[in-house]
Chains A and B, each alone.
Chain A
């Protein structure tokens, strides 16, 4: 066997090893990457209309509290999360309802309506929000969030549109 023949045989083995290794690497490597980042592709955002109370029970000048729970499935686990808010009635027109989210915009404590203070008070860092949700006092960076969409059913029940994060 000549020297050059010996060399090419070695190179052949090197190249084949490289190719086969590369193939196996990609065939397992690529799926592995998708496997890892899969949760980022998952569509959350289930939507629902959620009843919060009768329109006739909501009084002008007196924010009407409501709360509800949603069960979220995270992988193999179900977590129930609670949500809540206040419906602020302004007139006889149900479309003019202002529906506030009671989650404080500072660090997510739950605000409560205080009749004495005529404001929403956050128990955590003493923030104050007006009946319209504007910040009156304290650290929150912006007004209370609102549930943008709501509707009234034939039975006079207010429903809000809810979309999971």
Chain B
């Protein structure tokens, strides 16, 4: 019976086509370095899941942010685990994405026809950094506060539009409740949405072109 259900669904959805094109697609002989993109994507999903769980207890308000993080660490079962994964996963993701980018660079995989994949990749790298930057403020402790003060101040040194950028980032001239709230919004809605969309296009292009060959001596 299951087989019939499967066949019925497959006829309409086409699991098998998905399977063939996504997981069973031909690959040139490659190396472990080619797994870094998938590893980055795995971390993106993991960060998404643990992040969703964190919002169950986290509060983005100057009065309660610090206490709520404390509560997650000490008052909730496995809170330390969920936050720990999200915390270390964030660092690991930046590193992985960067090494993935290096591998694409060293194997010269950014050349025709994969220039767009590379450009989207740059967007992915920048948004990943953006996740780190916005996420760092959320615990609202001393380190977070001053790191963001410095970070936004640096953005503020841009010529002519510096002050405008600074105010736009902070939601005003100083770090305040508005800063925390907009960093939170950016961290859980805006940037992840952009990341997800970029990953979608990135993957589409990768599947369309197939993986590039590992360069040989002659190349």
Q: Which residues of A contact B (CB under 8 A)?
A: 28, 31-32, 34-36, 38, 41, 75-77
Contact = CB atoms under 8 A, between A and B. Distances in A.
A79 to B, nearest CB: 13
B118 to A, nearest CB: 28
Nearest to A76: B67
B79 A76 contact: no
B43 to A, nearest CB: 12
B54 to A, nearest CB: 9
Given A38-B76, A38-B77, A75-B75, A32 B64 contact: no
A33 to B, nearest CB: 9
Contacts of B64: 76-77
11 contacts: A28-B46, A32-B49, A32-B53, A32-B78, A34-B78, A35-B76, A35-B77, A35-B82, A76-B59, A77-B64, A77-B67
B181 interface: no
B71 interface: yes
A77 B57 CA distance: 11
Contacts of B81: 28, 31, 35
B141 interface: no
Interface residues of B, number: 20
A75 B82 contact: no
A75 B78 contact: no
A28 B70 CA distance: 21
Interface of B: 46, 49-50, 53, 56-57, 59, 64, 67-68, 70-71, 75-79, 81-82, 85
A76 B78 contact: no
Contacts of A38: 76-78
A152 B109 CA distance: 85
A35 B53 contact: yes
Contacts of B70: 76
B76 A76 contact: no
Nearest to B24: A10
B77 A34 contact: yes
Given A28-B85, A31-B81, 17 more contacts: A28-B49, A28-B50, A31-B82, A34-B77, A34-B78, A35-B53, A35-B56, A35-B81, A35-B82, A38-B76, A75-B57, A75-B71, A75-B75, A76-B59, A76-B67, A76-B68, A77-B67
A36 B67 CA distance: 18
A36 B46 CA distance: 17
A32 B55 CA distance: 13
Contacts of A77: 64, 67
B59 A32 contact: no
Given A28-B85, A34-B78, A35-B78, A76 B71 contact: yes
A14 to B, nearest CB: 10
Contacts of A34: 77-78
A31 B76 CA distance: 11
A35 B71 contact: no
A24 to B, nearest CB: 9
A41 B78 CA distance: 13
B78 A31 contact: yes
Contacts of A32: 49, 53, 78, 82
Contacts of A28: 46, 49-50, 81, 85
Given A31-B77, A31-B78, A76-B64, A36 B71 contact: no
Nearest to A75: B71
